[in-house]
Amino acid sequence: MENLKEEIKLGDVVWLKSGGPIMTANNWDTMTRSELGLKCYWFVQGQLCEGIFSSHALTKTAPDAPAQR
């Protein structure tokens, strides 16, 4: 797996870089034959949702967090 500047660990709170709800990284899952993705869980109006996302599309920085220098 490629070294990412911001390593995401299982159990971390994450967001899509493009925005969206707060999610919890739960486990690694297969997206394609050659790429693993992170299965994440989140709630929408009390309903549990899940999806598999490329780690490159996720961040641990909250969307409203100020940029760090």
Pick from 17, 24, 22, 21: nearest CA to 38: 24
Of residues 4 and 16, more confidently modeled: 16
DSSP state of 9: -
Q: Determine the Cα angle at 52 with ends 61 and 40, to 5°.
A: 50
**pLDDT at site 4:** 46
Rounded to two decimals, the pTM is: 0.78
Percent of the residues in the chain that have a pLDDT greater than 90, as a whole number: 65
16 or 65, higher pLDDT: 16
Q: What pLDDT score does 65 carry?
A: 65
- Selection from 56, 54, 53 nearest residue 41 by Cα: 53
